[in-house]
């Protein structure tokens, strides 16, 4: 357990480099589509609940603004619009709760389906080829952590439309209320698109490097745990600990790089979005002062500007899809091993699958138990103590008589008596 176990780690890294193969990428995308079809009913329910919730949230600012104008003008028709606002708020809460429940269900179903499929293909493959291509720790990481991340892709794919509708619908609502407010928001859209594109590209590379280093550490740890008794017997626990944790600094570096990409995207969006909202509100205030907007319209404009600025939330959905696709490539790769080819021969006879034994006899031989001879009994010596007969020692009889020796046998010293 010194330098020999480094070979599976090299094989593990070589298997991870194959994830960039276009064939592996195409197969993983196909498997994700199959996982989406496996939970098609729940995915459609997620799509319905999320889209309906978004439509309700888009209708709230308009209804709230109109109800506020009626209340300010003391119109008798303000009560129905106020009740409509309350109804929309309650409906949005219920739809979001149902969406959260369905997302958890689809994630669990997809993860179980991916693990079962990969494990079934792996068990059909040649064991020698499987162990030569994937180290035990790397394979365990692929079937546990990577499969869990890949299982979130179907639910995230079903929620992509719901993530894109709020900014687009809010932009259309701003254009309906006042064209100048929509034009003010469009000034920052090119910067937002550039931000999302850079985030998607950088996060994909960072996540892939982090997962490869994590697989190497898991492989070494599983190998040491398998030979724990050998490590304890050889007294090499400290050396094995250093070998297992040798790549821990590199894992920390890759992890910090990954979170640095996320932090940079969040920081840029946190600066860009409030500036856009302030710009839209400034233009809306000028239009209100000019008499082109009412107070309710300004309130609706502020809410729609906040929804349009929520386009930064698309980065979270994109990040989830990127991590899920990278994990799916690692999860699906063991399933690409070719299965063991079986011969075309069939069982003779009725071919019912029953296995039996014909013209067989069972015979048992009874052997008597050998007698117990030369049993050493604990006897008292001259000092009154009891103890076993040690090698080379002859214990005297009681009263100091001749020694107790088996006739024709061997003495305790190993010599035959004269």
pLDDT tens-place string over residues 64-120? 888 888 888 888 888 899 899 999 999 999 999 999 999 999 999 999 999 998 888
| CA 333 – CA 328 distance, rounded (Å) | 8
The pLDDT value given to residue 2: 37
Calculate the CA 44 to chain-centre distance: 23
| CA 307 – CA 305 distance, rounded (Å) | 5
Please provide the distance, in angstroms rounded to a whole number, between the alpha carbons at the two ends of the chain: 55
> Which three-class secondary structure string do you get for the chain?
CCCCCHHHHHHHHHHHHHHHCHHHHHHHHHHHHHHHHHCHHHHHHHHHHHHHHHHHHHHHHHHHHHHHHHHHCCCCCHHHHHHHHHHHHHHHHHHHHHHHHHHHHHHHHHHHHHHHHHHHHHHHECHHHHHHHCCHHHHHHHHHHHHHHHCCHHHHHHCHHHHHHHHHHHHHHHHHHCHHHHHHHHCCHHHHHHHHHHHHHHHHHHHHHHHHHHHHHHHHHHHHHHCHHHHHHHCCHHHHHHHHHHHHHHHHHHHHHHHHHHHHHHHHHHHHHHHHHHHHHHHHHHHHHCCCCCHHHHHHHHHHHHHHHHHHHHHHHHHHHHHHHHHHHHHHHHHHCCECCCCCCCCCCCCCCCCCCCCCCCCCCCCCCCCCCCCCCCCCCCCCCCCCCCCCCCCECCCCCCECCCCCCCCCCCCCCC
The pLDDT value given to residue 45: 92
The pLDDT value given to residue 44: 92
The pLDDT value given to residue 6: 32
Calculate the CA 284 to chain-centre distance: 46
**17-66, pLDDT tens digit by residue?**
444 567 777 888 888 888 888 888 898 999 999 999 999 999 999 998 88
| CA 116 – CA 121 distance, rounded (Å) | 9
Token pair for residue 289?
A: 């002062």
| CA 170 – CA 175 distance, rounded (Å) | 9
| CA 389 – CA 374 distance, rounded (Å) | 12
CA count, 13 A, side-chain hemisphere, 201: 6
Residues 369 and 388: beta-carbon distance below 8 Å:
no
Low-confidence ranges of the chain (pLDDT < 70): 1-21, 311-313, 315, 345-418
pTM over 0.75: no
Which residues are paired to 216 by β-bridges? none
The pLDDT value given to residue 48: 93
Return the residue matching tokens 């205030």.
285
């Amino acid at each position: 357990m010194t330098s020999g176990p480094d070979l599976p780690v090299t094989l593990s890294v070589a298997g991870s480099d194959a994830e960039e193969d276009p064939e592996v990428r195409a197969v993983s995308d196909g498997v994700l589509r199959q996982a989406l079809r496996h939970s098609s009913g729940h995915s459609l329910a997620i799509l319905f609940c999320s889209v309906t919730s978004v439509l309700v949230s888009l209708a709230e600012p308009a209804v709230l603004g109109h109800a506020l104008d009626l209340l300010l003008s003391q119109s008798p028709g303000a009560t129905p619009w106020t009740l409509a606002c309350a109804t929309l708020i309650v409906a949005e809460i219920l739809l979001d709760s149902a969406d959260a429940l369905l997302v958890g269900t689809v994630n669990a179903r997809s993860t179980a389906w991916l693990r079962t499929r990969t494990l079934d293909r792996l068990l059909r493959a040649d064991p020698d080829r499987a162990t030569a291509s994937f180290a035990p720790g790397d394979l365990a990481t692929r079937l546990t952590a990577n499969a869990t991340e890949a299982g979130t892709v179907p639910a995230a794919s079903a929620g992509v439309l719901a993530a894109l509708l709020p900014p687009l619908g809010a932009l259309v609502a701003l254009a309906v209320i006042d064209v100048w407010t929509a034009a003010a928001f469009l000034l920052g859209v090119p910067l937002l698109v550039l931000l999302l594109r850079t985030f998607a590209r950088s996060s994909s590379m960072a996540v892939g490097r982090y997962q490869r280093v994590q697989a190497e550490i898991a492989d070494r740890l599983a190998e040491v745990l398998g030979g724990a008794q050998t490590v304890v017997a050889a007294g090499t626990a400290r050396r094995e600990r250093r070998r297992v944790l040798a790549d821990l600094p590199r894992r920390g570096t890759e992890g910090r790089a990954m979170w640095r990409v996320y932090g940079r995207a969040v920081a840029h969006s946190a600066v860009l979005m409030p500036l856009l909202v302030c710009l839209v509100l400034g233009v809306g205030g000028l239009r209100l002062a000019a008499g082109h907007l009412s107070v309710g319209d300004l309130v609706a404009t502020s809410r729609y500007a906040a929804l349009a600025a929520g386009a930064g939330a698309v980065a979270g959905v994109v990040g989830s899809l990127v991590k899920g696709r990278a994990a799916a490539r690692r999860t699906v790769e063991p399933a690409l091993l070719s299965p063991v080819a079986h011969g075309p021969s069939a069982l003779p006879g009725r071919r019912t699958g029953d296995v039996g034994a014909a013209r067989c006899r069972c015979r048992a031989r009874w052997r008597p138990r050998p007698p117990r001879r030369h049993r050493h009994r604990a006897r008292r010596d001259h000092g009154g103590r009891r103890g076993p007969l040690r090698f080379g020692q002859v214990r005297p009889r009681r009263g100091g008589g001749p020694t107790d020796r088996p006739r024709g046998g061997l003495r305790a010293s190993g010599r035959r008596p004269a």
